[in-house]
Amino acid sequence: MDYPSSRPEACNGADPNPGPRKKIAIFIVTYNAVSTLTKVLDRIPESVWNKVDEVFVFDDSSQDDTFLVGLGYKAHRNQPKLSVFRNEKNLGYGGNQIRGYKYAIEQGHDIVALLHGDGQYAPEALPELLAPLERGEADAVFGSRMMRRGGALKGGMPLYKFVGNKVLTAFENTALGMNLSEFHSGYRLYSTAALREIPFDRNTHEFHFDTQIIIQMHAAGKRIVEIPIPTYYGDEICYVDGMKYAKDVVRSVGQYHLHRLGLKRAAEYEIRPTYQIKGSPRASHHQLAELVGPRPSRILDLGCGSGQLAALLAGRGHSVVGVDVSPPENDGFAYIPGDLGQGIPAQVQGTFDAVLLADVLEHLPDPRPLVLQALDRLVPGGRVLVSLPNAVHWSVRAQVLAGRFEYTNEGLLDRGHLKFFTRRSASEMFRELGLTVEEIRTTPVPWEKVFRGGPGGVVSRGFERMDLAGSAVLPNLFAYQNLFVLRKP
């Protein structure tokens, strides 16, 4: 990407003493900041100027001479680490950030700190805010004006903004299962490695960009650290429409939940999941572990994935053999590489008390041969334990009713799903293969992944109870997954 710049030498400010330290950039967003930009640059501590590789300003096509002020500062202060860019057209608060973060990634910076050119956020706090990222203890650091009791109001934050901030933050914490003191500070620092893993470039160009990127970091399992900062409100012009902003924030949270539930795809929340066994005892893997039972057994886990279920069972005293095309992240059990589309690998020897097919059969063009091979690996009286997503769950029905059938990175419409099963169609397939369906269980929607932790835990447990009650009456509608216990007749 080409950037209209004040200088051709984009990275001449690099530290001449190479070492293990991280490359740091300070990114200043500006719009009509002709009276404040110089002060912001002057307030960056000398220790920060010495350690950073670049301080770059993106002027968002200001209607005043902000860009020229930046050029003048660079020339008069002889500051080679300063870069000044001007957007040819106004990109908006979010669009300007998108361009700046892309630039930081392209320039090879490891850390990018966001400052505002209006001076609302104290550059003097940069050393404390940078420290967790420099130590590798965080993926994002937010400066919070709400961590010091009374500090925001003493710093001049208008009462209506203080109340609005508190109300919106409480809503977001509850809805997202987070526990931040403030969602609405613009003082942000990010690891560029974390930015690479989220689709921030799909976010809005408006002010609720900051909410969307928090949701993305949360969904990707990134570590967010908050550090208290002073509050300063001067005579700068505020370009935020408070009521519109609040509506956009609530809408963003709602869109995230609709996406996670498979009701409506939101491209900005298409984030590659990092799988963790869910905490609910009604989740599929906990129920499968319960069905295996406490007596030490020999278990074959076909499609062991990351290996978390296999490791859980091995930790309970079972002898586990896991098979998957890629090595698992967890250990403590025997692993054999194999593409289950080609059947059970020949290296798998002997028979087993239970064969697990947890979220596997839906990924195969024809799952029947693998089920038959699993039967052949059972000891007399052994069982095959299967979990399958419910293709007629209410969330899928609602999407179809709205005229959509959109695949996602995980869930019932995972892009890897090649076959779709209902409770009845799966039972008929197993019976046609000569199996006895001994028991069918159901699982609720994994609400804890939507309302994770914090205040959201209460919400997720409430929805789970409603799901379980609905599944007892209308399993076709409310069962998120069906679990089958299969035996030879």
User: Does the pLDDT value for residue 6 go beyond 60?
Assistant: no
Residue 461's pLDDT band (cuts 50, 70, 90): confident
Range 96-119 average pLDDT:
96
Higher-confidence residue of 21 and 123: namely 123
How many residues does the structure list for the chain?
Answer: 489
Q: Phi/psi at 362 (nearest 5 deg)? A: -70, -10
Helix (H, G, I), strand (E, B) or coil at 148: coil
User: Does the pLDDT value for residue 10 go beyond 50?
Assistant: no
Alpha-carbon distance 268 to 204, whole Å?
9
Residue 12's pLDDT band (cuts 50, 70, 90): very low
Residue keyed to tokens 């950073």 = 52
pTM (2 d.p.): 0.75
Residue keyed to tokens 């990924």 = 363
Q: Which domains can be identified in the chain, with CATH numbers?
A: 24-269 (3.90.550.10), 284-487 (3.40.50.150)
Token readout for 54 is 């670049």
Instruction: Give the sign of the dihedral formed by CA 186, CA 191, CA 195, CA 201.
Output: positive
Tell me the pLDDT tens digit for each residue of 228-278: 998 876 655 566 677 899 999 999 999 998 888 777 888 999 887 655 666
Alpha-carbon distance 283 to 272, whole Å?
21
H helices present in 7-125, as ranges: 37-43, 46-51, 66-76, 92-106
Exposure string of 326-353, with b = 16+ CB inside 10 Å and e = fewer, is eebebeebbbbebebeeebeeebeeebb
Token readout for 66 is 């902000």
59 near 87, Cβ under 8 Å?
yes
Instruction: Give the sign of the dihedral formed by CA 363, CA 364, CA 366, CA 370.
Output: negative
